[in-house]
Amino acid sequence: MQTLHCCDIMANRLSKIVTRTGDDGTTGLASGERVAKDHRRVAALGDVDELNSAIGVLLAESLPTDVQEALSGVQHDLFDLGGELSLPGHALISAAHLERLERLVETFNGGLPPLREFVLPGGTRAAALAHVARTVCRRAERTLVALAHVETMPPLPAQYLNRLSDLLFVLARALNRAGGSSDVQWQQGRNRG
């Protein structure tokens, strides 16, 4: 029996972009199975893809080298996660992925002042884009959790997204600091008159 790999499937599919196979409202998974485009698994794939695109927009900014390297690694991880979602039962996200994110959170957070208030999304453009990516990441995590309610899913992909949202929050703060801006702190009841 031949082992099925998503990379082998993708190599054959990428030569033709317009296939018309999705005109009936279905899409193909890497396993060859066709599912409705509104299937929860496809929604999860779409949210992970959107997250990767949001990180791509952030990477288009002028960023410190260590932030660029961290986010570039994340983009590769997210493609692995998409591959895992596209080929049910094929695990690509491991505990090592989570451990790497935890180390990055500790490293970037180590140089930041302690939080005393909630932080609003904003500050520098790069920090604001990191916050946008963080919110897309939280949505992708929710979509994976919803998928796990109807299908058997390994826990690591959702845990990865949970850690990634923490990293994106810390990176937003680090980018504000690198850009000479402070965190935008929430002022409870500010406009209450």
Give, for all 193 residues of the chain, the pLDDT tens digit: 334 444 444 444 556 666 665 565 766 666 777 765 667 888 999 999 999 999 999 999 999 999 999 999 999 999 999 999 988 888 999 999 999 999 999 999 998 988 888 888 999 999 999 999 999 999 999 999 999 999 989 999 999 999 999 999 999 999 999 999 888 887 788 888 7
CATH superfamily of 37-111+118-180: Cobalamin adenosyltransferase-like (1.20.1200.10)
- The residue among 19, 138, 159 whose CA lies nearest residue 84 is 159
Tell me how long the chain is.
193
Distance CA 7, CA 25 (A): 24
pTM score: 0.85
For every residue of 18-45, DSSP letters joined together read ---TTTTSEEE-TTS-EEETTSHHHHHH
